[in-house]
Chains A and B, each alone.
Chain A
Amino acid sequence: MSRIHVLKPGQMTTVQDLGRPGWQRYGVTPGGAVDACALRLANLLTGNSENAAALEITAAGPTLRFAEETLVAVAGAEFEASVDGIRLPAWRPVRLGAGAELTIGTARTGLRCYLAVAGGLAVPRVLGGRGTHLAAGFGGFDGRALRNGDVLKIGPPTAWAKRFTPTLVGAESMVAARWEVGAAVRPKYTTAPVVRVMRGPQWEAFDAVVHARFLAERFVVDARSDRMGLRLSADGGGLLKQPIGEIVSEGVVTGAVQVPPDGQPIVLLADRQTVGGYPKIAIVASVDLPLLAQLRSGDSVTFSEIPIVDAQELWMANERLLATVRQGIALHAV
């Protein structure tokens, strides 16, 4: 079994997949990659199932040594990345030679990128998922972010990866494919996205002034944001003149926009709680969650309302697009 040696862990590098659904009744959040779209594409580019375990890299990346030849792909935010001093291109499969040292530096734009390896990271499945549950300390690699000296195991590559890897010919320690996932398929990351939302179950608990401000104002991302949630502050100060009472704690979803008593919204991300008592003014359309996943402190967001039927159409169209990518990648090694 091939291995990856962690020479430098990066700011916060965790093993993530698409999450562990089915355990929310016990308080276990599905978790997984914050930018699930980037994780899926990175996995597809290495011949993996979309749900394979990969590294989620945050703000400043790790330095890794690959014991054996490995097919890898990076997707998501744009990071400085190099192998033995040569720039590693993202959004495409790359063959690394045995002993290659991959250094992922700081993010140029955005916050998170994903490094997938053909075969996926071989960490045990815990409650149906391979992702790291940081709060409870289970899943992923030892239930925590990577540290110096950790050694990650890689699973067996798929038949596609075995056929495709030798087509990347060359003696260099890094050979990249000549093709990539096109910009049309990647999420349209920006530092000030307009994010589409639907009305939340407590929309009516807020008055017309709050509704208007919520859909017009710019919200700035606070430094206390993390995998659990994006903390926002409204340009015009807190949204509430007087606090709205808590509700009986009920289920929440990723993308729920909660308004706590201080009136500064929190958008729940992958490591969200499973239930919450703050009123939810809106819910972000699933298709726009990757845009939020890439926001850093100081970036901003505005919200625009769409009907559920439109949000579902957008999601289904996005899935059709991903299906064509999947077919396209398959054809590169037949």
Chain B
Amino acid sequence: MKLAPLGDSAVIVTLGETPDAATVAAGCALAAALEAKPLPGLIECAQANASITVFYDPVRIPKRGGTSPFQRVCRWIEDRAPSAGQVAPISGRQMTLPVCYGGEFGLDLEMVGSVHGLTVDEVIALHSGFEYFVSAIGFIPGFPYLRGLPERLHTPRRPTPRTRVPAGSVAIGGAQTGIYPFETPGGWNLIGCTPWRLFNTYSQAPSLLQVGDRVRFRPITSDEYGASRSS
């Protein structure tokens, strides 16, 4: 566990080199332990990939002679951190998301195939043939960072990001795959689109996917996509 300041109101706690399942579980366990008995002045703990970020208000952190709010927050995090043996593996849910691959739904599918010498059908079979692990939700509301992309599909981000990526786009960025919940600018390669809504502000847990979930993709036709959208 490595603590570093992120300015005057946050601390970033790094729990490992890569966002593997054990590191993600350790981050979630630490965030939960900190929020279970929060220090006055704690704002929130946000897990993402291999680290968690602890946001605090320096004014409200209890004073203790001669130390800065930053030092007191670090001491508190260290004291509350569960030891490695206490961290249970994450029990995520298993989710299967329908995806309409290629064509207007995935403008870069053919390009991704040609980069790797694969046909479009081979890319679809590979992408939908593996199980992925949600290591972070972030960037924009509900966007899942999915680990477990087969190496044959690792594809560099586009040199110039698109100014408009349609909502629901399933995309590949480097060694990761992810889903854009909203129409935004974006630099990942678009291979398909899911009709499912990934973020709903009226829901208790507004993000459809949660860190630790295991995700599979199921290819669907454009007709199924249309039917699912309208239902």
Contact = CB atoms under 8 A, between A and B. Distances in A.
Given A248-B49, A251-B48, A283 B7 contact: yes
Interface string A289-324: 000000000000000000011011001100100000
A274 B48 CA distance: 9
Interface string B193-215: 00000010100011100010000
Contacts of B137: 25-27
B136 A256 contact: no
Contact of A285 (B6, B7, B43): B7
A165 interface: no
Given A250-B50, A285-B8, A312-B69, A319 B201 contact: no
A133 B138 CA distance: 15
B153 interface: no
A65 B143 CA distance: 40
A26 B206 contact: yes
B6 A308 contact: no
Interface in A245-281: 246, 248-253, 255-256, 273-276, 280
A67 interface: no
B7 A22 contact: no
Contact of A286 (B8, B139, B141): B8
A24 B46 contact: yes
B68 interface: yes
Given A138-B201, A250-B48, A311 B206 contact: no
A137 B184 CA distance: 11
B18 A248 contact: yes
A315 B59 contact: yes
Contact of A28 (B4, B18, B141, B145): B141
A276 B143 CA distance: 12
Given A21-B43, A251-B48, A275 B139 contact: yes
A275 B49 contact: yes
Nearest to A257: B7
A1 interface: no
A228 to B, nearest CB: 10
B122 to A, nearest CB: 28
A26 B207 contact: yes
A249 B14 CA distance: 11
Nearest to A255: B7
A100 to B, nearest CB: 35
Contacts, number: 152
Interface string B133-176: 00011111111010000000000000000000000000000100
Contact of B5 (A198, A248, A273): A198
A22 B182 CA distance: 20
B49 A136 contact: no
A135 interface: yes
A215 interface: no
A249 B50 CA distance: 8
Nearest to A25: B46
Given A26-B137, A136-B140, A308-B70, A198 B48 contact: no
B54 to A, nearest CB: 9
B201 A127 contact: yes
Contacts of B143: 27
Contacts of A309: 68, 70
B9 A286 contact: yes
Contact of B201 (A126, A201, A275, A286): A126
28 contacts: A21-B43, A23-B44, A24-B53, A25-B31, A27-B141, A135-B184, A137-B182, A200-B6, A248-B18, A248-B19, A251-B6, A251-B10, A251-B12, A251-B52, A252-B6, A253-B55, A274-B140, A275-B136, A275-B139, A275-B145, A283-B7, A284-B7, A308-B7, A308-B68, A308-B70, A309-B70, A312-B70, A316-B59
Interface of B: 4-10, 12, 14, 17-19, 31, 43-53, 55, 58-59, 68-70, 136-143, 145, 174, 181-182, 184, 199, 201, 205-207, 211
Interface of A: 21-28, 126-127, 133, 135-139, 198, 200-201, 246, 248-253, 255-256, 273-276, 280, 283-286, 308-309, 311-312, 315-316, 319
Given A253-B10, A253-B53, 5 more contacts: A25-B47, A136-B181, A198-B5, A249-B145, A283-B6
